Structure 1
Amino acid sequence: MKIMYCITSASWGGAQLHVLELCQHQIDLGNEVVFVVGNDGLLLDKVKKIGKVKIISLPTLHRELSLVNDCKVIFDLRKIIKKEEPDILHLHSSKAGTVGRLASIGLSVKTIFTVHGWAFTNGISSNIKKKIYQLIEKIVSPLTDYFICVSKYDYDIGEQHGILKITKHNYAVVHNGVPEPTEKNITHNLENEAIKIVMIARFSAQKDQTTLIKAISQISNRNFLVTFVGDGSTLEENQKLVKDMKLDKRVKFVGFKQNVIPYLINNDLYILSTHYEGLPISLIEAMSYGLPLIASDVGGNSELVSEGVNGFLVKPEDEQQLAERITCLLNDSSLLDKFGVNSFNKYKKEFEISRMLSKIDQIYCNLK
């Protein structure tokens, strides 16, 4: 079987990790893999290290909407598909998903679009953009042989907006998965020690580190340390906010890290204060390391965080509620320990990578 993966950006994130795992798995199975991407980045570097993957750079493929450029990228991608003749064209990210399906019209290739969060999902601030992306998806959805939704939340949105047609039976929920770590620290024994909190995410309006910073400024119990891992467009303003609030001794910014494992092993609580998500792999990784979770109740987060079992869900941008939930765990280290064990158990039951890969293999076989 020959499979072509196409994603807009090689900048690192959950969708990129997902594609990397798929490329590696298909090579391990002895299948041919072609990887098409719009720019350089960490994903591209990691795919190169796999070996045996044919890599094709498509610089016309980028996120911004442009009628002239988008017509060109459709034409360029169509030439690539015709030349490579893959059995499966597996598309990731909204832009690649759109141009890829248009480029495949009339060709003998089966197209799969993985929804890592719809481009018109709840939480996106611009209603105009939401309507445009919803219209685009309705136009190209008939060109899709199969949809994979990484969360039940995205599955439900697709049905509600008439994109996923019940009568067609061409879609399924396949939760993201991650490998089980070889080293982890599930129990924490934190009596009389500072509780270490971590958030690993790019700095952007979507991820909203600002709400977490404002929340911790309200906490009277100062026996904690927050580490932010990542960089991005809102980093400097968040650094300034920490300085203005005199939280320098309680907050660390360590920048982007290619290897985040030390930050998962050596912290006690994982927080994701975000505006919208699909099914964040960062939370699944935190679960695999036995970390309790606090996350905004958006997207598929409720499929990962069971309220009062392995963590807490909070309203997005509700700094007071977030502060209350953090305080609850700061004051009860035994609850942190209980949540951490439950996180790992939930990961083992539902989010091991072997489950994800097996389900996708079956979809490929059924379509071929």
Structure 2
Amino acid sequence: MRAEARAAGAREEHLVVVTEAPLVSGAEHALAQLVAGISDDMRVTVASVDAAVGGWVASHRPGAHTVALPSLSEKRDLLNIPHARKVLAALRPTVVHLNKTEVGGLRYFEIICHTLPNTRLVSVVHHVEAPGSFFSGLLSQLLARRSDAVIAVGRSLARELESLLRLPEGHVKAIHNAIDPASGFEGSRTRPHARPFTAGMLTRLVPHKRVEDVVCAVSQLEGAELLVGGTGPELNRLQTSVRRLGLGSRVHFLEWVEPGEVLDNIDVYVLTSKIEGHPISLLQAQRAGLPIVASNVGGVPEIVTEGVDGFLFEPGDVAALAARLRELANDDVLLSNMAAAARAAAARRPSPVEVATSYAEVFWPAAEAV
């Protein structure tokens, strides 16, 4: 709490961040950067459904607390609502930050938070996708209108969310994600002659990531290899597909690894998602000095400049993806120029401190009002 507020005896400022993610992905990386960078004057608690995810986020801030929340993702979980409210109310937050991976995420936690006294509710949306039903869309619209602030992690996502939920222009604030400039990724500077051209990605293995598209694209490039860092429910199916295509020696699933284990051993970064926000993995790839070939969705065009530091293609267009990878594999000058442009783009990105300051401008009014 700022000194003048503390001297006046105001309630201690307490930021509670809420996540129901079952594993660490880009949205949790963004949350960890925020937790690390927010003012030391604010007490921080990470409230999570998955203890491992909550502990990982909290580990980025010395002194941050963790608390376990019950799952509210299924209809059978609704009996847990009274317990969830009791847990959140006991924390007496001044600000609750809901870290949503999708528009309808954390819905029941959001309803609970609207009942907490003297609490500012900030809803942060990482992906924008049409709600599954009319009722779901209407509820998302009502909750967004009642929230004290709604944030999307990119300009295009903010406008898309306003359109989707019929919110007034300017209702959704855009705050981009950031990564630590001291991330330490090296990336491939000059490909060793002994190593084949290698593409790579860091991703959850779930259907909307469309990882099979890059597997098919790499199969069309003679001798090219693929490194995939990440795991998920699609892993077994993808491994079966790789074996069926005879790519067992060229496509490698590393499961969860440190980003550098992929980024330091590839020539180009690939993103094939059907839905995206402002992907942390692309920021990491640019920091590593890697050209990017990515699907033209969500906030991706705000990161990748077509023909300068990478290429964009329409999601699902495997032929276009393969053509761009082939172009980079066959042109070392183009690869080098795009790598330099990627590093330059990374240097222009806002720092985690700047991003945390933008969030603080949303959080602080709550502290002044309670």
Distance 1:141 1:226 in 2: 41
Partners of 1:42 and 1:36 lie apart in 2 by 10
| Matched residue, 1:211 | 213
Matched residues in 1 for 2:262 and 2:151: separation? 31
The answer to whether the 8 Å contact 1:10/1:16 transfers is: no
Retained in 2: the 8 A contact 1:113–1:144? yes
2:105 aligned with 1:104: no
Amino acid of the structure 1 residue aligned with 2:256: F
Q: Is the CA contact 1:2–1:31 (under 8 Å) kept in the aligned structure 2?
A: yes
State the partner residue of 2:157.
154
Report deviation, 1:318: 1.0
Equivalence for 1:139: 142
Cα distance in 2 for partners of 1:328, 1:43 equals: 42
- Equivalent runs, 1:40-119 vs 2, <5 Å: 40-48=51-59, 50-61=61-72, 63-64=73-74, 66=75, 69-70=77-78, 72-73=80-81, 75-93=82-100, 94=102, 97-106=106-115, 107-119=117-129
- Asked if the contact 1:284–1:304 (Cα under 8 Å) also holds between the matched residues in 2, the reply is yes
Give the match for residue 235 of structure 2: 235
Separation (CA, whole Å) in 2 of partners of 1:50 and 1:354: 13
1:185 and 1:247 mapped to 2: Cα distance?
A: 27
**Corresponding position of 1:247:** 247
Taking a change above 3 Å as real, the CA distance of residues 187 and 234 of structure 1, as seen in their structure-2 partners, is closer
Structure 1 window deviating more from structure 2 (3-12 vs 309-318): it is 3-12
Deviation at 1:48, TM superposition (A): 4.8
Relative to structure 1, the CA distance from residue 289 to residue 352 in structure 2 (aligned partners, 3 Å threshold; closer, same or farther) is farther
Distance of 2:127 and 2:321 partners within structure 1: 24
Change over 3 Å in CA distance of 1:77–1:163 after alignment to 2: farther
Structure 1 residue 4 corresponds to structure 2 residue 16: yes
Letter in 1 for 2:16: M
Q: 260-269 or 179-188, which moves further after superposition?
A: 179-188
Report SS of the residue matched to 1:12. Answer: coil
SS in 2 for 1:161: helix
Q: Does 1:24 align with 2:36?
A: yes
Query: 3-state DSSP class of the match of 2:253?
Result: strand
Alignment CA distance shift 1:139-1:82 (3 Å): same
CA 1:204–1:96: 2 relative to 1, 3 Å: closer
Per-residue deviation at 1:59?
1.9
Q: Deviations over 1:93-138 (max 9, x none)?
A: 25654223311335211100001113427xxxxxxx2545422211
For residue 190 of structure 1, report the CA deviation from its aligned partner. 3.5
- Secondary structure of the corresponding residue to residue 209 of structure 2: coil
Q: Provide the C-alpha distance between the structure 1 equivalents of 2:214 and 2:157, rounded to a whole number of angstroms.
A: 25
The change in CA–CA distance for 1:49 and 1:18 in structure 2 (over 3 A counts) is closer
| Distance of aligned partners of 1:24 and 1:352 in 2 relative to their CA distance in 1, 3 Å threshold | closer
Q: Distance in 1 between matches of 2:187 and 2:240?
A: 34
Question: Given the alignment of the two structures, is residue 181 of structure 1 paired with residue 193 of structure 2, yes or no?
Answer: no
Contact 1:204 1:233 (C-alpha < 8 Å) held by counterparts: yes
- 8 Å CA contact 1:186–1:340 kept in 2: the answer is no
- Give the Å deviation of 1:4: 0.8
Please give the per-residue CA displacement for 1:177-196, whole angstroms capped at 9, x wherever unaligned.
Answer: 00013534366233855222
Q: Unaligned stretches of 5+ in structure 2? A: 1-12
Aligned residues of 1:195 and 1:268 also touching (Cα < 8 A): yes
Between the two proteins, what is the percent identity of the paired residues? 22
Match for residue 342 of structure 2? 343
- Give the 3 Å change call, closer, same or farther, for CA 354–249 of structure 1 in structure 2: same
Q: Residue 255 of structure 1: CA displacement?
A: 1.7
Secondary structure at 1:231's aligned position in 2?
coil
Q: What's the offset of the Cα at 1:22?
A: 2.0
Report the alpha carbon displacement of residue 345 of structure 1 after superposing the two structures with TM: 1.4
Cα gap change, 1:100/1:160 in structure 2, threshold over 3 Å: closer, same or farther? same
CA distance, structure 2, for counterparts of residue 5 and residue 184 of structure 1: 28
How far apart are 1:16 and its partner, in Å? Answer: 1.0
TM-score normalised by the chain length of structure 2: 0.87
TM-score between the two structures when normalised by the length of structure 1: 0.88
Give CA-to-partner distance per residue, 1:292-340, whole Å, 9 cap, x none: 1011111111111110011011111111111101001001111111111
Query: What CA RMSD, in Å, does the superposition of the two structures yield over aligned residues?
Result: 2.2
Match of 1:125 in 2: none
Kept in 2, the 8 Å contact 1:284–1:351? The answer is no
**Taking structure 1 as reference, are residues 267 and 132 closer, same or farther at Cα in structure 2, changes over 3 Å only?**
farther
Shift of residue 163, structure 1, vs aligned partner: 4.3
Change (3 A) 1:251 1:186: closer
Partner of 2:4: none
Aligned residues: 351
Distance (whole Å) between structure 1 residues aligned to residue 298 and residue 79 of structure 2: 31
